[in-house]
Amino acid sequence: MAEQLATGSRRGLRPALPLLLPAYLWLTVAIFLPLSAMVFFSFMTDLPLAGKEWSFTLGNYAAFFSQSLYLTLLLASLRLGLEVTLWCVVIGYPAAYVLAKVLKGRSREAIFLLVILPFWSNGLVRIFSWAMVLREGGILDITLNAVLPFKINIDLMYSYPAVIIGLVHSYVPYMVLTCYLTLQAIDDSLIEAGRSLGASRLQMLKRVIIPLSMPGLIAGAALIFVPVVGSFMEPRILGGRTGTFYGTVIEDQFVAVFNWPLGAALSFILLAVVLVILALAAPVLRRAG
């Protein structure tokens, strides 16, 4: 039996190789090699360009711990990641539920399209359109003042809320998509059974729907949290003077001061912290699921 299984899997692997090869070749060339170069850089004192002297050092990693600046920023970025993920759940999950369980046919397709639409537009275009909406004398300000009987002053531009709004807008489709897939897979008869056994709507949500759609929620949260923690474009453009985050400092190291070793070290510290958080969260979330 064991032998049979072994040959079976071997037979299964060999024909599968040509199918796997392009993906792994691509991963090796496009991700693994540059990433290992970056690991290498992060232990160097300087880039070996134009005959500059360099040697190996742990100094770039030590820099993170020697100044409170980087830790403060990392915490701020983690908070940003949590808040954006939370808002994506609050906004995205109900939408996914309606898409999966309430709407059918044409109307579902139409709403789905609206959800996906932000994906098809360029990130910079999205951010600059937010800039037009959020600023003082912008679209939001003018519209609200035209409708409301009293005068209010809306100037959200260059503030922390603006960063949150921009990021939530960019990332909410991930949450809708992942939750939609798991919610759609829930058998309607389970919901009917629950109802017929006298469960209230809230009980149904808590005991049946959320647990069954947990994998989607977790996948969505991970997909959103990780890039948001390292984001730099949205904070820089929408955040103004409050827009300094861990991601913008890494960008500065690469673009503004040409300190690639420090930038690489900061990136890998971020990667490590994010991995630790995901690893710690995994068992808790799995139990919840």
Closest approach of other proteins to the CB of residue 246, in Å: 10
Choose which of 242, 271, 277, 278 interacts with other proteins (CB under 8 A): 242
Choose which of 15, 241, 279, 287 interacts with other proteins (CB under 8 A): 241
Q: Are 62 and 267 in contact (CB under 8 A)?
A: no
Closest approach of other proteins to the CB of residue 254, in Å: 8
Closest approach of other proteins to the CB of residue 219, in Å: 31
Binding mask 135-154 for other proteins (x = CB under 8 A): xxxx----------------
Choose which of 49, 147, 152, 279 interacts with other proteins (CB under 8 A): 49
Choose which of 249, 264, 266, 274 interacts with other proteins (CB under 8 A): 249
Tell whether residue 156 is a contact of other proteins (CB under 8 A): no
Q: By C-beta, is 39 or 257 nearer to other proteins?
A: 257
Closest approach of other proteins to the CB of residue 242, in Å: 6
| The pair of three-digit structure tokens given for residue 165, joined into one six-digit string | 């709004």
* Torsions phi, psi for 56 (to 5 deg): -80, 145
Tell whether residue 50 is a contact of other proteins (CB under 8 A): yes
Q: By C-beta, is 135 or 169 nearer to other proteins?
A: 135
Closest approach of other proteins to the CB of residue 145, in Å: 16
Tell whether residue 69 is a contact of other proteins (CB under 8 A): yes
Please name the residues in contact with 262: beta carbons below 8 A apart, sequence gap of 6 or more: 60, 63, 253
Closest approach of other proteins to the CB of residue 241, in Å: 5
| The pair of three-digit structure tokens given for residue 87, joined into one six-digit string | 């808002």
Spatial separation of the C-alpha atoms in residues 256 and 235, rounded to whole Å: 16
The residue behind tokens 């939609």 is 180
Binding mask 193-222 for other proteins (x = CB under 8 A): ------------------------------
Instruction: Provide the binding-site residues for other proteins, judged by CB under 8 A.
Output: 47, 49-52, 67, 69, 72-73, 76, 135-138, 157-158, 240-244, 249, 252, 255-258
